[in-house]
Structure 1
Amino acid sequence: MHQSHLEDFIENLLKGIGVFHPIQLNKFHIADQLGVYLHLLEVRSRGLWDGELYYIFLNPNLSRQQRWQDFGHELCHGLRHAGNQKSMPSSFRKLQEWQADNFMYHFCVPTFMLKRLELPPDQRIAAALIAETFNVEFSFALERLNRYYQNNLFLLNQNIKEGDRFG
C-alpha cells in the first residue's frame, strides 16, 4: 500500500535519526537529533525561531501524552513552515495550523509503525492499543485510527482507478 508524501517525509525523517520503533519515540532524543532546543516551561506550548535556532516550549503541567502531541504539532512549524504567524493573514495562519495538526497525527503515530501493529477489529480496543503503544490520548488515537483507515481507503480507490486507466 502506498503512503502519502507526508507519511514518507515522516518515515524518512525518523529512520534518518535511527527511530524505527514506538519505544524510540522520545521527544527529547528526537529534538536533540534534529537540532531543536526543547524546554519545559509553564507557558502555552509553542515553537519559536531565533535566527537559525528553533526552540519548542512545552508546558510541564500537561500530561505526558499532551506534551508528546504538542511536540509533534510544534515540530511541524519548525520543519515545514516559515514566517511569523502574528504577521500573517488569518487564512494562511489557519492553513499552517491545519497542516501542523495533520503532521502531529502522522508524526506521533507514524504510519510505518502503525502498519506493523496487529490491530483488533474493534475500533475502541484498537484505539486503546494505539494510545498505549504511542503514548497518546485515547481521543487522539481514535482520530488517528480514523485517518489511517480513511487514507487507506483513498489510496486503495486511487490504485483501482489507475488500474482501470492502464488495464
Structure 2
Amino acid sequence: MRYTNSHLEDWIENLYRKIDITEPEQINFERIAEALDIRLSFKPVTSFALKHSGIYNICLDSRKSRTEQWYDFAHEFCHIYRHEGDKKTMPATWTDYLEWQSNYFTYHFCIPTFMLRNINLSYIQSHAIENIAWLFKVSPSFAKKRLSIYYRKLTQSLFNSAVNGKSMSPIFSTSKIF
C-alpha cells in the first residue's frame, strides 16, 4: 500500500522543511513566527490574525494555556496563509467553511503527516495517543482526533489498493472482497 499525501499535507511538509523543522521537538510557534516574519503578541482577548501593511500579525489569547495557544496559532496561521479576503463581506456559509477548514488544518499543522509517518505507533490505541500527545505537545483528545484522521486515510488507501488490485496487505485478497 502506498500512502498518498493530500495537497494540504504536501503544503505543510514543504513549509516546515523550508524553515528547517523536520522533527516534532522542533515545532514551536515562536520559532515558526520568527522564521516567517509573523508578528506575535499575547493579549487577554480572543485570538485573531490580520495582515496590515503587508505584515502578518497573530495575537494569541494570553489567558489560555500554551497548548491552547498552539492550537490557536495554527488556526490563525491557516487564515493568514491560506485564506484571502475580508470575512465581513463574505456569506456566512463561506466563513463557516473557512472556519471548518482552519480547524481541520490545525490537526495537520500541529501533528504533520510527514513526521507522524516516521513514528512507530503502538498497536494499543491509548499508548499511541499518549506518545503522540507527548511528542507533539498536544492534549490526548487532540492526539486521538488526529490519529483518527490519519488512520481513516490509511484505511481508505488500503481499501483503494484492494479495490484497484494493487499491492495489497496479505490480510486482504480481492477474491474475499468480491
Please give the range of the TM-score, normalised by the shorter of the 2 chains.
over 0.9
Cα distance between partner residues in 1 of 2:136 and 2:18 = 19
Matched, 1:154 2:156: yes
* Cα drift, residue 51 of structure 1: 2.9
Structure 2 counterpart of 1:28, from 25, 30, 34: 30
Secondary structure at the counterpart of residue 62 of structure 1:
coil
Aligned with residue 138 of structure 1, among 137, 140, 152: 140
- Pairwise CA distance, 1:163: 4.5
1:78 corresponds to which letter in structure 2? I
Q: Give the unaligned 5+ runs of structure 2.
A: 167-178
Q: Normalising to structure 2: TM-score of the pair?
A: 0.87
| Runs of 5+ consecutive residues of structure 1 not aligned to the other structure | none
Identity %: 41
Q: SS of the residue aligned with 1:23?
A: helix
Give the paired residue count: 164
Q: Which SS does the other structure have where 1:116 is aligned?
A: coil
For 1:157 and 1:40, locate their aligned partners in 2 and report how far apart those are by CA, in whole Å: 45
Which of 91, 116, 119 is the aligned partner of 2:118? Answer: 116
> SS of the counterpart of 2:13?
helix
Structure 1 residues 86-141: Cα deviation after superposition (integer angstroms, max 9, x where no partner): 22111100110111011100000001111111111121221111111101111111
Cα distance, 1:17 vs structure 2 = 0.7
Which of residues 37, 40, 43 is equivalent to 2:39? 37
> Which AA in structure 2 matches 1:91?
T
* C-alpha spacing 1:159/1:52, structure 2 compared with 1 (3 Å): farther
The residue that corresponds to 1:79 in the other structure is 81
Between the aligned partners of 1:136 and 1:15, the Cα distance in structure 2 is: 21
Once the two structures are superposed, the pairs formed by residues 93-104 of structure 1 within 5 Å of their partners are 93-104=95-106
Could you report, residue by residue, the CA deviation over 1:9-47 in whole angstroms, capped at 9, with x for unpaired residues?
A: 100100011000011101011111112111111111111
Q: Which residue of 2 aligns with 1:128?
A: 130
Partner of 2:68 in structure 1?
66
1:120 is paired with a residue whose SS is coil
SS at structure 2 position matched to 1:121: coil
* 45-54 vs 104-113, greater mean Cα deviation: 45-54
2:90 corresponds, among 88, 91, 95, to 88
Quick check: which has more Rg, 1 or 2? 2
Q: Is 1:64–1:135's contact at 8 Å kept on the other side of the alignment? A: no
Superimposed CA distance per residue, residues 36-84 of structure 1 (whole angstroms, 9 cap, x where no aligned partner) = 1111111111111213111111112211111111111110001100112
8 Å Cα contact 1:46-1:58 kept in structure 2: yes
Which one has the bigger helix percentage?
A: 1
